[in-house]
Chains A and B, each alone.
Chain A
Amino acid sequence: MMSVRSLMVPDDTDSFDDADNTVARLASLPGLNTASGMAVDAAGATAVGKLLPVVPELTDVLPHRGLRRGSTVSVIGSRLLVLSLLSEATARGSWAAVVGMPDLGVVAAAELGVEVSRLALVPAPGAELVPAVAALLDGLDLVVVGRGVNGRTARQLSARARHRGAVLISAGAWPGVDVELRCEGGRWSGLGTSGHGFLSEREVTVHTSGRGSAVRPVTARLLAPGAAGRLARPGETESEPMLEAG
């Protein structure tokens, strides 16, 4: 990490937090690797280690402040969190596929910022789930699997993702994942007890765990969904402009 820090231009070195951001930003550029990414590269696959960008709210939750290509991520307990992992990458030109999830709320995905014109849906792969996912990992950057598979197949698909430099996201438990995000629900707000208002925000707690030295357990609080269906950090409610005037 330090070797990359020395590349930084002098005008944004204010705090350590900024430095971390810069690393993430630099690492998401094509052709530029972090030191840890380089180490993985040396092990074989060329595309592995580069990061697919995620929305700023999720950078603290993920070990490399992004989705590392070639990795397998499982998300337990929140479909909104699965979709929000896709939003930034698809908005920047990556393609994503969702396999085996016939009841996906596409409107919710769009509200989270997912570019739906680059979202392919394979709702009912039937018995061909594994070959379909494998074929999608060949050509797309992100593949979400909505159905559990057995341990051996899971490892084969993870290996395929690693080999192709794609990110495999599982909605539900997945054996041998690199990163696991476990979401615990909290209180909904915006809804009255007597019929007024409408659902607006929900505060959730996300626990990150995983294997490998890069993954330290993190617990973060998020609003999923936050205002207008997007992801947000708690306490980040828009400051009223009239306060500034006062």
Chain B
Amino acid sequence: MRREMRRREAQSCCPDLAVLGVDPSRDARLFEPVAAAVEELVVGVEVVRPGVVAVPAAGAVSYFGSEHELVERMVDHVSGRTELECQVGIADGLFTAVLAARRGVVVEPGTAARFLDPLPIIELASAMPMEDNGELVDLLRRLGLRTLGQFAELSERTVSSRFGRVGMIAHRLAHGLSERPIDRRPPPEELAVVETFDPPLDRVDAAAFVAKTLAKKLHAELGQRDLACTRLSIYAVTETGEELARTWRCAEPVNEGGIADRVRWQFNSWLRAAPADGLASGPNSGVVKLRLRPEELVDASKLQLGLWRSGGGDDEADERAGRALVRVQGMLGQTAVSTPVLVGGRGPGERVRLVPWGDPRDDVDERPWPGKLPAPSPATVFTEQVEITVVDSRGRPIAVTERSQLTRPPRRIEMTGRSARQVIGWAGPWPVDERWWDPRGDGVRARVQVVVDQGDALLLQFRAHTQPRWIIEGEYT
């Protein structure tokens, strides 16, 4: 399995796969112990994204004696601390290093281009800026450029005139150069924003709020100078004088929301890191001082701004509602408050994904989905499975065949502990054509709509696995 794989594809090569939604905040939280473990060994750790850290190797290599020694120590140390396996690679430039890490190799200085030469062009996709949406890699592939080497052979001028800025970045990467020309001028110290807290900050929801205001301040500060940030350091001082620091490296200049997200993720992981883990990362008291310092700056023209907000909401109402929802999250926990996003799916429950408040929402997926039931949808979708028995006119249980036919027309529904209901009308079955290949799935499945006496309409689902059974999936009133 690889990143960027389609869900269906991934499930077909690994049917036991559990599919989880995208949640960078959770990822950051889980990844923090790894970053902390690496930091114990070498200085200058930068989190590229949850899952990848970058460290400058030169100093560490001379300290540990050889590159081989460093890699070995790092793998040992991370697995000792976190019980996770990590892969390490050393190369010139971040992009090459990430690819080297995936293969667990050390690329000698100056040989990056040779290392990259035979690799498939698709490797570029993960390093491209967001604005590109993977279009460039797809285009290059269709143009017949299958390896990074073939792309690197094109002249810089040709690439620039045909593919623009995005193409230039990709071309630099394919050459084994870093995505931005190195500019080692450190940003002036006065650009950092500092906030002190009294009483100390020790709750995640409060931190999320602070993150937003600090991000706004830093963003405004940078905006005035026509700059945008590509690397951000977050420093925190706790009540007991402990100092925490973490640097985030971003693939592209971050805007206000991006800064706030990173501060929130970092806070999340600091506050939730249990002291019992024996990691030096978690503060054992509240945070009294927070400082955001841009580590690397670029021209602000590279920052993409949303020109208009989606939807027709008015800002003040959104702000007010947001505050109320954050307060409720403070009472009940972060995942207790969510907004729904409609996604593709066949059943009424599968067409909804709940996104915890504060996490980014994707757009509504309006592409057609074959096999979904026509509107109206049930107003009640049961979260627990209500098992029932569906029988025909002579009281014999009925089922759905492998050819998606009902064995006999349904006449009565029997529920344990409740009186039986007569079926007045019914429609279906709609076969649920998914995961029938999975031996541990539900086998043949189908949905049937019924109207029972007293006018209630129900959505029933049949599952043929091990013992055939019916459940009530939803109610229409």
* A-to-B contact residues, CB < 8 Å: 77-80, 83, 92-95, 97, 102-111, 115-126, 128, 131-132, 135-136, 138-141, 185-188, 190-200, 202, 225, 228-229
17 A-B pairs, CB-CB below 8 angstroms? A105-B378, A107-B377, A108-B376, A108-B379, A111-B375, A117-B339, A120-B337, A121-B338, A124-B332, A140-B321, A185-B456, A185-B477, A187-B455, A188-B425, A193-B426, A195-B409, A197-B427
Question: Given that A105-B474, A107-B351, A128-B331 are known contacts, is A229 also in contact with B339, CB under 8 Å in the complex?
Answer: no
Which chain B residue shows the least CB distance to A79? Answer: B379
Question: In the complex, which residues 303-352 of chain B have their Cβ closer than 8 Å to any Cβ of chain A?
Answer: 310-314, 317-318, 320-325, 327-328, 331-332, 336-342, 348, 351-352
CA distance A221 to B311 in the complex (A): 33
Interface residue from B314, B336, B373, B449 paired with A122 (Cβ < 8 Å)? B336
Which chain A residue shows the least CB distance to B426? Answer: A195
CA distance A195 to B342 in the complex (A): 29
Cβ of A133 to closest chain B Cβ, rounded Å = 9
CA distance A77 to B476 in the complex (A): 12
CB pair A105 B381 closer than 8 Å = yes
CA distance A17 to B380 in the complex (A): 36
Residues of B within 8 A of A106 (CB): 340, 342, 351-352, 381
Which chain B residue shows the least CB distance to A94? Answer: B317
Interface residue from B324, B361, B427, B457 paired with A202 (Cβ < 8 Å)? B457
Residues of A within 8 A of B31 (CB): none
Residues of B within 8 A of A194 (CB): 409
Interface residues as binary, B421-443 with A (CB distance below 8 Å gives 1, 0 otherwise): 00011111000000000000000
CB pair B374 A120 closer than 8 Å = no
Cβ of B409 to closest chain A Cβ, rounded Å = 7
CB pair B338 A120 closer than 8 Å = yes
Instruction: Across the A-B interface, give the 8 residue pairs with the lowest CB-CB distance, nearest first.
Output: A139-B324, A229-B376, A229-B375, A95-B321, A225-B376, A191-B425, A107-B377, A79-B379
Residues of A within 8 A of B136 (CB): none
Residue B63 at the A interface, CB < 8 A? Answer: no
Which chain B residue shows the least CB distance to A139? Answer: B324
Residues of A within 8 A of B477 (CB): 77-80, 185, 202
Residues of B within 8 A of A196 (CB): 427
In the complex, number of A-B residue pairs with CB atoms less than 8 Å apart = 178
Number of residues on chain B facing chain A (CB within 8 A):
58
CB pair B379 A105 closer than 8 Å = yes
Residue B66 at the A interface, CB < 8 A? Answer: no
Question: Given that A120-B357, A199-B376 are known contacts, is A105 also in contact with B348, CB under 8 Å in the complex?
Answer: yes
* B-to-A contact residues, CB < 8 Å: 310-314, 317-318, 320-325, 327-328, 331-332, 336-342, 348, 351-352, 354, 357, 361, 364, 373-383, 406, 409, 424-428, 449, 451, 454-457, 474, 476-477
Cβ of A244 to closest chain B Cβ, rounded Å = 26
CB pair A185 B455 closer than 8 Å = yes
Question: Given that A104-B381, A186-B455 are known contacts, is A136 also in contact with B328, CB under 8 Å in the complex?
Answer: yes
Residues of A within 8 A of B313 (CB): 93, 118
CB pair A108 B348 closer than 8 Å = yes
Cβ of A61 to closest chain B Cβ, rounded Å = 17
Question: Given that A105-B380, A105-B474, A139-B323 are known contacts, is A116 also in contact with B340, CB under 8 Å in the complex?
Answer: yes
CA distance A193 to B374 in the complex (A): 18
Question: Given that A95-B321, A119-B339, A139-B320 are known contacts, is A191 also in contact with B427, CB under 8 Å in the complex?
Answer: yes
Which chain B residue shows the least CB distance to A126? Answer: B332
CB pair B377 A108 closer than 8 Å = yes
Interface residue from A79, A93, A136, A228 paired with B380 (Cβ < 8 Å)? A79
Question: Given that A107-B342, A118-B313, A124-B336 are known contacts, is A188 also in contact with B328, CB under 8 Å in the complex?
Answer: no
Residues of A within 8 A of B449 (CB): 191, 198-199
CB pair A121 B324 closer than 8 Å = no
CB pair A108 B454 closer than 8 Å = no
Which chain B residue shows the least CB distance to A114? Answer: B340
CA distance A103 to B425 in the complex (A): 24
Cβ of A76 to closest chain B Cβ, rounded Å = 12
CB pair B337 A104 closer than 8 Å = no
Cβ of A194 to closest chain B Cβ, rounded Å = 7
Cβ of A229 to closest chain B Cβ, rounded Å = 4
Residues of B within 8 A of A198 (CB): 373-374, 427-428, 449
CA distance A211 to B324 in the complex (A): 30
Which chain B residue shows the least CB distance to A204? Answer: B477
CB pair A191 B377 closer than 8 Å = no
CA distance A191 to B451 in the complex (A): 8
CB pair B331 A116 closer than 8 Å = no
Question: Given that A108-B348, A122-B328, A132-B331 are known contacts, is A191 also in contact with B426, CB under 8 Å in the complex?
Answer: yes
CB pair B451 A188 closer than 8 Å = yes
Residues of A within 8 A of B324 (CB): 135-136, 138-140
Question: Given that A105-B381, A120-B338, A199-B476 are known contacts, is A228 also in contact with B375, CB under 8 Å in the complex?
Answer: yes
CB pair B339 A120 closer than 8 Å = yes
Question: Given that A105-B474, A119-B340 are known contacts, is A193 also in contact with B425, CB under 8 Å in the complex?
Answer: yes
Cβ of A135 to closest chain B Cβ, rounded Å = 5
CB pair B336 A115 closer than 8 Å = no
Cβ of A89 to closest chain B Cβ, rounded Å = 11
Residues of B within 8 A of A140 (CB): 320-321, 324
Which chain B residue shows the least CB distance to A166? Answer: B324
Interface residue from B311, B328, B376 paired with A118 (Cβ < 8 Å)? B311
Interface residue from A78, A95, A225 paired with B318 (Cβ < 8 Å)? A95
CB pair B328 A132 closer than 8 Å = yes
CA distance A190 to B380 in the complex (A): 20
Which chain A residue shows the least CB distance to B363? Answer: A117
Residues of A within 8 A of B457 (CB): 188, 191, 199, 202
Residues of A within 8 A of B354 (CB): 121
Residues of A within 8 A of B364 (CB): 116
